[in-house]
Every structure is written in C-alpha cells, then in structure tokens.
Structure 1
C-alpha cells in the first residue's frame, strides 16, 4: 500500500509500505493492506512504518504533533500538524 505523510511545510514521506502504526486519540492503531476506508484523528506520538528494503524489513519512525489520517483503496494519507524532533 502507498503512504504519504505531509505537513503544511513539506512532504515528509512517500512510498510503498507493509504496515503503519499511528498514535490514536484512544491508543495506537495499525493499518495493513486492504484496510477498510477510515478517517481518524491522530495524536501526538510516534508513527512506525514497516516496509521491505532489499528483501529485508525496515522500520522508519516519525514523531508527529497530531493530525488526521485517511485510508482509502490501499492509500494512506497523513496530514500532520508538524514533525517533532
């Protein structure tokens, strides 16, 4: 599935991923391939992305300060307020 993370200032990440875990308002939640359509707010916290890189799983982490996530037709769009340090 395709993931795009953007802030008002820049595009932070674009690419194919196997899974993504987001900090939800009531706890973290995971998105996998063929997930049902979803729109949800995300809280401040860690976004964990897992993707295959040269046939090995690679984890990427981003700290976000909140925002919104939309899942539709194996595309995840994250509108983040900002990326933390």
Structure 2
C-alpha cells in the first residue's frame, strides 16, 4: 500500500531551503540595488538601465521572493497538518 502524507523531517528541510533561498535572493538584490544606484555611469544607456531595466528586474525578483514565501507557508501548513494527523 502506498504511503499517504509526507515526512515532516523532509518538509522541515524543504522549508529551511526555501527560507535560505529567499534570504539569498533578498541579500543579492540589496547588494545589486545599492551598486546599481551608485555606479558611475552616465548617458542614455545608464538612464534606461537605472530608470526602467533595473527596476523591472527588481520587480521580478520581488515576485520570485513572494512566490517562494507562499510556497514556504503552504509547506509549513502541510507539515503541521501531517504532524497533527500522525499524533
């Protein structure tokens, strides 16, 4: 018979990996944002990059972070439900 449910220990590891990935993306984004704002670069390419390209990239990265947070919340809830069902 196939097992239904999940291994809470495996889920805890997944939650930890998701949290680490979120932190790494946010940290990298902060570092890149700081440098993008302070880089000595003038001209139309710089204006386009600083005015639209980089902000669009930040928006996409923020969406990735939000999506990963949603997954983390879902996995955390499922882990809790599995532990309660197994108790």
* Bigger relative CO (Cα 8 Å, ≥ 6 apart): 2
TMscore range, shorter length: under 0.3
Q: Which structure has greater helix proportion?
A: 2
Greater gyration radius: 2
Q: Which structure has greater strand proportion?
A: 1
TM-score under structure 1 normalisation?
0.18
